Amino acid sequence: MMRSRSGPTTTCLVVLIATSLTACFAGPRASDHLAERDATPCRSPRFPYQDGWLGADSAYSVSLPGKRTLWLFGDTFVGSPDQPDRNGSSLVHNSIGISRCDADRRFEVAYFWNRSSGDGASRGFIPGDDSKHFYWLFDGFVFEGELFLGLLEVSAAEPRGPLNLPFRFSGMKLARIDHPEDDPRTWQPELSRLTGRSDAFSGAMVIHEDHLYLFAFIDRDAAQHPRFLARLPAAALRDPAPSLADDIETLQRDGSWQPGFDPDRAKILMDDNATEMSVHFDAARSKWVALYSHPNASGGFPADPFADAILSRTADRLEGPWSAPRVVHRVAELAVARGARHDRATICYGAKAHVQYASDRGAPVTYTCNLYTPDGADPYRVLARLLGRMDLYRPQSVTLPLRYESERQPANRPAQ
């Protein structure tokens, strides 16, 4: 998720250390995973290693014209088009995928980033301003035919938090892209600043009626990320100014909307820990549904019994009140942690639903598994394993019903 990214979001940067090791370690070949795309139905998204794309964080999705889906990835291993594994690969801070169904109703995806330029370096699909500042792609939407992407600004910094992650969030921007039906290699993003706060950022975005709603999280050093709600008029998106900060309002504790992006006085909608999540409207139940992971690194995974859980909340209105979280799935990669052979450095995060693929069976939900460095462990030894673990560090998909016979909260509810 990011990958915690001091909750789910922050862990993705653990690979920054691993990239210095890529020339020294080899593992299963990426080509071993390519055949899976040949038989993958369209309602089951899969992300094969191909064309130099060797795994990435996160997986927000946006429906595009022409029955295509845009996939937004965080930190991404990339290499040469014929490269079979991560050995000698490099890292870019974001990439995208465009998927569609082929004539045989199979899922196929093409990946994009700024490939090696004159200096021989690859860069993210939306590169940062300099070597110390970069962007993670955080959700997106289409409004009046134009594509908008949320950009979480990230800056290198001294390690902090329970996972000793070497970065800080430093603001949010919104990228506008005209003609998203065109080849992504021709896109020319125009950036507007949303906020310059260093303690609160948007993690999910929803266009509803005449506003863009931002499900923002507060970034606390203790790896806690409670969520609140901000919004700006959709009209401001028609010709966005260089800064949209003056258009933002925040939902206050008394239920009123007040000007400004103000986490200090915001009403907390969800007080557990998540930076990434998806929010969609379930017309069958007339409910808004939020889906996310609830990572907790204290004591190592899965010491917290809900570290392997994907959770959901519902509400009649975006402003809430939101229900207590319900467990809708247990991540298999962490459920096996109760066995003796489980790698205790495994972390899974970033759960999000992709309802454009919904069927009678449910909707696909993606999450990512990664490695982190437990207290006292050598980060180079731990993270070097990532280079040989081709089963890790790319979004995994599972189909979940996302509908419930009862809104009753199970007895083993997560602590709030």
Amino acid (one-letter) located at 174 = L
CA 288, CA 286: separation in Å to the nearest integer?
Answer: 7
Of residues 371 and 174, the one with the higher pLDDT is 174
Q: Shortest CA distance to 125 belongs to which of 101, 151, 154?
A: 151
CA 99, CA 45: separation in Å to the nearest integer?
Answer: 9
CA 137, CA 150: separation in Å to the nearest integer?
Answer: 6
Q: Shortest CA distance to 75 belongs to which of 14, 162, 161?
A: 14
Residue 81 to residues 31, 54, 72, 116: CA-CA distances in angstroms? 11, 10, 20, 11
Task: List, for residues 233-244, the tens digit of each pLDDT value.
Answer: 999 999 999 999
CB 414 within 8 A of CB 325: yes
Task: List, for residues 337-386, the tens digit of each pLDDT value.
Answer: 555 455 667 888 999 999 999 888 889 999 999 887 766 677 777 777 88
pTM score, whole prediction: 0.85
Task: List, for residues 133-155, the tens digit of each pLDDT value.
Answer: 899 999 999 999 999 999 998 87
Question: Which CATH number is associated with domain 10-400?
Answer: 2.115.10
Q: How far is the first Cα of the chain from the last one, in angstroms, to the nearest whole number? A: 20
| DSSP-based three-state secondary structure for 254 | coil
pLDDT band at 410 (very low <50, low <70, confident <90, very high): very low
HSE toward the beta carbon, residue 343, CA cutoff 13 A: 19
Of residues 335 and 329, the one with the higher pLDDT is 329
Q: Shortest CA distance to 204 belongs to which of 290, 133, 146?
A: 290
| pLDDT greater than 90 at residue 211 | yes
CA 371, CA 38: separation in Å to the nearest integer?
Answer: 29
pLDDT for residue 239: 93
